[in-house]
Structure 1
């Protein structure tokens, strides 16, 4: 199977620059989440929030609306091209982030966080569609893993950036940093990124087309298990992100060490994305991700056992949670590339539909997991184990009961420079 190369463009971008740019575009969403974490308590106090778990909504509302917005940018990008839609999403991100720094109460902040989340939907959907325009098969999985390595740089440093801002200025300046980064990336895209969507692949915008894409994604057996399975895995991770400041910073007593611990966990996760990008072409996306899922379930079972003990410590929790996060490096990019394989001519719409399902389900369940925080690690550990087992059942459905088999030969790639 081969894919036509993208239409000619007057802009040329090298492979390394392309990887860096796509990774940083996706990282805008991570910056909007992880830089908030050290400041959640201070935001809630200053803006009048009283419920201790209510601070999680600054993250939870953002993630929910990121999922709800995922249907929009893919359809627009399939009609008008990737570049203009991507630039429009970043412009909305910059404007809404700036407004977040000016709010006067907690309700205003949540409304604007919902708007930033909706704008961020395109930043999650469009890089995957752009990569699918240029790559397929295991090569697409390798490219997505390489992009994820760049993406993971921001979760490594974002909490520390937020903590540093708190030491020098108000939490409101965190939103200013978000706006500045978005502006810089918009300029870079305008100058360097070519349009990757072929003219003959452009699709009209219509509700029936969007509906057909949703139906196709949810009825294509080869993709369905990977989309819903990844949603379950992500929901447990979102539950951790929602509650990690309370769990790690307060319950386990990390305090001001919390950003450094979070950064260390993200750094190890970035290393696994690098390893995945090196081995996926040799072993195949299915073999790598299926093996990682089995190990994830075993790790989650051990983590659940440790969480039920009354004397679990920070340095028992952190290594196990880090290992679970590392295994995501072997799941996310591979699951995404496998799920998009049946949709070469509708990569934008399919990416949107899949991201919509994945993000809405994961953010909703993640918010529930976060709100279940009871001062211990038990709710999170139970969620990790349940998500892993549910994901395995869904993958078995998509693969008709057979794991570890490499079904596709290495795909064809078309260089953009």
Structure 2
């Protein structure tokens, strides 16, 4: 089976036939998963990093995650215009090279500050993979078809927390936190080889934009003056604060609040499994219910569970019993799986002619904004789950408000284009 070119896609039909559909989806998913792995594989090693590098503030160790996210989010805005000018492939390879070299250098980091700097640089390189992954999908598809493809991609992205923390734990059984960086370098090499040999250029020559101040500013003007694109970009950024805040606090919540110990990665993986399953379900249900009804309804459910969980945790002295914690967390993250792919598709819907720059803006707001929000919420950790779930509820409601703005203050509607 081969990919059938969308009638509105920019990619020439001869390129569309050069790669099987399953491989195209798998490759894009791997590029997205590369970023999730760079975050999640370090989670089991945070405590060891703090001890080995003499970090005095326990919460400061979370910056191993935060520094990567900041580099990853901030650099995307650079790669977008470059990919619209020079094509997707050269920009991707430059980013993968930076990512891999920074991962190798992190093996020898002499101090906590040096490690944070290298993680930031690794994030800068990884930013190219996020921009190109979304761009090549938009080069090929739009509307509900794009949402379906992105759901499959996000399924792998969300499944990465199932494997990455356990990979990190396995590495720590036989080595220390420095060996974790070796795993990241191997992932980078694998991505470079696969895309170099198998990913065709998806940007048609006639759609390349000049790289000068006027054309770059015009691209940004198109994005920021499109109400739907701008609204869903902000909504996605606010909502991804949920994911980053959970990742930042997960080890502390599981090991300190609930005294789970090293086995916490199994529970982390359990939640991620349900999140990935709901993303897969979205790829099937989006054509039946539409991107708006699914994402708006799921976001409403997410926010309501957040309010309930925060209230119960406060009433019970800081945390619910562990069984109730999981009973509320799992359905909440099931709702999560119906939101990012649909919001990404809705934000990109009308921006196919500036897909690279649009992907960069979306990614910057999503990861830099979400990462900063997540880091701030993570730093509010006080030995209870109240700040975490109050943050979930607040971010869910904020994201829903921004989605309503994007739709002209109408929610839960199905439109022909999405």
Quote the residue 1:414 is aligned against: none
Q: Does 1:388 align with 2:396?
A: yes
Q: Are 2:10 and 2:207, in contact at CA under 8 Å, matched by a contact in 1?
A: no
Determine the structure 2 residue equivalent to 1:31: 37
> Residue by residue, what CA displacement relative to the aligned partner does 1:183-231 show, whole Å, maximum 9, x if unpaired?
1121111111111110000012234433333333232111222111111
- 1:15 corresponds in structure 2 to 21
Q: Which of 358, 363, 378 matches 2:371?
A: 363
When normalised by structure 2's length, the TM-score is: 0.95
Secondary structure at the aligned position of 1:359 is classed as helix
Q: Which residue of 1 aligns with 2:176?
A: 170
Cα distance in 1 for partners of 2:224, 2:243 equals 23
Checking the alignment, whether the CA contact within 8 Å between 1:11 and 1:192 is kept in structure 2 is no
Higher relative contact order (CA 8 A, sep 6+): 1
- Match in the other structure for 2:191: 185
Q: How do 1:239-318 residues align onto structure 2 when only pairs under 5 Å count?
A: 239-308=245-314, 309-310=316-317, 312-318=320-326
Q: 1:304 to 1:208 in 2, by over 3 A?
A: farther
Q: CA deviation at 1:152?
A: 2.8
Separation in 2, partners of 1:401, 1:10:
38
Q: How many angstroms does 1:100 deviate by?
A: 0.7
Tell me if structure 2 keeps the 8 A contact 1:396–1:403. Answer: yes
What is the CA RMSD across the aligned residues, in angstroms?
1.6
How far apart are 1:313 and its partner, in Å? 2.3
3-state SS of 1:342 partner:
coil
Taking a change above 3 Å as real, the CA distance of residues 137 and 9 of structure 1, as seen in their structure-2 partners, is closer
User: Aligned partners of 1:327 and 1:174: how far apart in 2?
Assistant: 31
Do 2:166 and 2:265's aligned partners in 1 also have CA atoms closer than 8 Å? yes
In the other structure, the counterpart of 1:340 is 348
Equivalent pairs counted in the alignment come to 410
Task: Write the distance in 2 (CA, Å) between the matches of 1:176 and 1:65.
Answer: 20
In structure 2, the residue matched to 1:415 is none
Question: For 2:159 and 2:16, how far apart are their aligned partners in 1?
Answer: 30
Contact preservation (8 Å) 1:225, 1:391:
no
CA contact (8 A) 1:19 1:150 kept: no
Pair 1:138 & 2:140 matched: no
Q: Of 389, 401, 413, which residue of structure 1 is paired with 2:409?
A: 401
Shift of 1:156: 1.0
User: For 2:395 and 2:218, how far apart are their aligned partners in 1?
Assistant: 28
TM-score normalized by the length of structure 1: 0.95
- Kindly report which structure 2 residues correspond to 1:38-49, keeping only aligned pairs within 5 A, or say none: 38-49=44-55
Deviation of 1:319 after TM superposition, in Å, equals: 2.9
SS across alignment from 1:70:
helix
In structure 2, relative to structure 1, the CA distance for the partners of 1:4 and 1:361 (3 Å cut) is: closer
Partner of 1:205 in structure 2? 211
Identify the residue that residue 413 of structure 1 maps to in structure 2.
none
